[in-house]
């Protein structure tokens, strides 16, 4: 634009003062211009983070409106969404399954399942005993598993996270490392508002978008949250009964078998042949943690192979797998299909074993 305006004027001036073009002496280019400072070159600056995020959010708004999102719900969801650098920092710091490669389960267990958490679990068991019985009756999930999930996720509802969940999800979706996952969760948050299941201001939780006392992602809220106290709402943020009923429903829908324990600690005999129990299962999700499980065998077969501490298992025909989280001969657990349901909640052997053992500790403590 600028050139087209200025160029004719320059040509006009040149025509007035110079009758003809003459060769112009071009100064030689210095062969080694070491001391000559380079002229300042205007490098286009990258879009500031916030501007890039705002552009992403605008595109998201356009997309959800184009596919029929309720405008009022879309604006409600997007109102107050901000890019959260702290979410990005926490996401980059997050270790993989079970922490680093050198993390040990015994140390993790000692941290997660300490006397304080067990005692609070026993107190909670007394306080909400009627609710636990009601959830057990409806879902088949025993109280100690409900309490252990509740206790490990949020300290029995005390630490639910104070991040604005739509902001956290949008930040993670925009960041791109797991864009599809977090965009789908942002869509689920929109559905929660569209359906009037929770208000915009209630959508608070962890930096990774896990909400309320059971730490449900929005998609889990849509799929599993239940109203436990009969007021017509599933309030997983403030209501303990709704929280426990929702956790029970999650387990039931994922396939928890009523009356089947998660498993138990066992002792593996010296010289045990571990190559003979390797699993040929191929997993599509939660691959690395599930690769640590042996193949399934009936309890009777495990007994025949010399495992001890197994007598408490009620039935010899129950299918079970062996896990040694800290390596061969350093603590072993025989687990049932129900243990895999705990892993559905959080794909980690460290987590699932902690839930199982916290549950045992709570239920074995006198009330």
Give CA angle at 283 (280, 284), nearest 5°.
Answer: 155
Q: Given the complex with Ca ion, which of 206 and 239 has the nearer CB atom?
A: 239
Which is nearer to Ca ion, 171 or 246 (by Cβ)?
Answer: 246
CB 260 within 8 Å of CB 338: yes
Minimum distance of Ca ion from residue 241's CB (angstroms): 7
At residue 265, the 3 state secondary structure works out as strand
Which residues 6+ apart lie within 8 Å of 134 measured at CB?
228, 241, 245
To which residue do tokens 């298992």 refer? Answer: 313
To which H or E segment does residue 197 belong?
A: none
- The residues that bridge with 266 in the sheet, in sequence order, are 332
Q: Please say which residue, 194 or 229, places its beta carbon nearer to Ca ion.
A: 229
Q: How far is the CB of 256 from Ca ion (least distance, A)?
A: 22
Shortest distance in whole angstroms from residue 209 CB to Ca ion: 22
- CB 202 to Ca ion: min, Å: 13
CB of 234 to Ca ion, least distance (A): 6
- Encoding tokens for residue 86? 């702290």
Comparing CB distances to Ca ion, the nearer of 228 and 359 is: 228
Whole-number Å distance between alpha carbons of 236 and 250: 13
Query: For residues 283 and 8, what is the distance between their CA atoms, to the nearest angstrom?
Result: 71
Using CB under 5 A as the criterion, which residues of the chain lie in contact with Ca ion when the complex forms? 227, 229, 231, 233, 242
Nearer to Ca ion, 233 or 292 (CB): 233
Chain-centroid distance, C-alpha 114: 24
């Amino acid at each position: 634009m600028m050139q087209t305006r200025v160029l004719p004027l320059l040509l006009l001036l040149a025509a007035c003062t110079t009758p003809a073009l003459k060769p112009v002496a071009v100064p030689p280019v210095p062969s080694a211009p070491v001391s000559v400072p380079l002229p300042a070159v205007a490098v286009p600056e990258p879009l500031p983070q916030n501007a890039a995020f705002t552009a992403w959010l605008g595109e998201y708004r356009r997309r959800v409106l184009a596919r029929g999102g309720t405008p009022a719900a879309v604006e409600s969801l997007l109102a107050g969404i901000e890019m959260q650098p702290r979410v990005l920092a926490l996401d980059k710091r997050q270790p993989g399954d079970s922490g680093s490669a050198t993390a040990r389960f015994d140390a993790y267990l000692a941290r997660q399942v300490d006397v304080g958490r067990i005692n609070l679990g026993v107190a909670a068991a007394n306080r909400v005993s009627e609710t636990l019985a009601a959830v057990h009756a409806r879902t088949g999930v025993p109280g100690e598993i409900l309490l252990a999930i509740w206790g490990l996720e949020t300290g029995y509802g005390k630490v639910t996270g104070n991040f604005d969940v739509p902001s956290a999800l949008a930040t993670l979706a925009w960041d791109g490392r797991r864009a599809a996952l977090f965009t789908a969760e942002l869509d689920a948050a929109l559905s929660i508002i569209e359906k009037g299941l929770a208000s915009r201001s209630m959508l608070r939780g962890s930096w990774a978008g896990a909400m309320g006392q059971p730490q449900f992602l929005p998609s889990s809220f849509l799929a599993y949250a239940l109203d436990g106290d009969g007021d017509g709402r599933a309030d997983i943020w403030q209501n303990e009964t709704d929280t426990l009923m929702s956790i029970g429903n999650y387990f039931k829908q994922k396939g928890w078998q009523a009356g089947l324990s998660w498993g138990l600690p066992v002792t593996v005999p010296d010289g045990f042949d571990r190559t003979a129990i390797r699993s040929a299962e191929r997993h599509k999700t939660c691959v690395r943690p599930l690769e640590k499980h042996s193949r399934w065998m009936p309890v009777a077969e495990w007994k025949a192979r010399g495992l001890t501490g197994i007598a408490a298992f009620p039935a010899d025909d129950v299918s079970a797998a062996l896990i040694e989280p800290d390596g061969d001969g350093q603590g072993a657990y025989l687990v049932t299909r129900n243990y895999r349901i705990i892993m559905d909640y959080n794909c980690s052997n460290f987590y699932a074993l902690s839930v199982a053992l916290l549950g045992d500790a709570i239920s074995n403590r006198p009330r």
